[in-house]
Amino acid sequence: MNLASLTPAGIAYLGKQYEACVDRGMDVGSIYAYLTQRGVAVTRAEVIHHLDYVFKFTNYAAQHPALPLVSYEQADAAMRKPARRKML
């Protein structure tokens, strides 16, 4: 996302979205999902850059990293495990 192409109102909107995410203590992956659900086309790397350098939430991304991505093999293995049954 090229921030230079945004109007001042667009930058203010984006800043408020990041501020809402930081106030909720969201991690980078959650912020990425939150923004893309609202139509903001960013990458995870851009989210980190915006947090640290554009909107001055210095070191926030390092303290709230995204959860590691799960591979298809890991997801399949997790789904194959039998569900735990509660003993009565």
Q: Whole-number mean pLDDT of the chain? A: 90
pTM of the model: 0.75
Which letter, b or e, does each residue of 11-22 get, where b requires 16 or more Cβ atoms within 10 Å of its Cβ? eeebeebbeebe
The pLDDT value recorded for residue 82 is: 76
Quote the pLDDT of residue 29: 94
How large is the average pLDDT for residues 1-8?
A: 86
Domain boundaries, the chain: 3-80
Check residue 43 and give its pLDDT. 93
CA-CA-CA-CA torsion sign (17, 1, 8, 51): positive
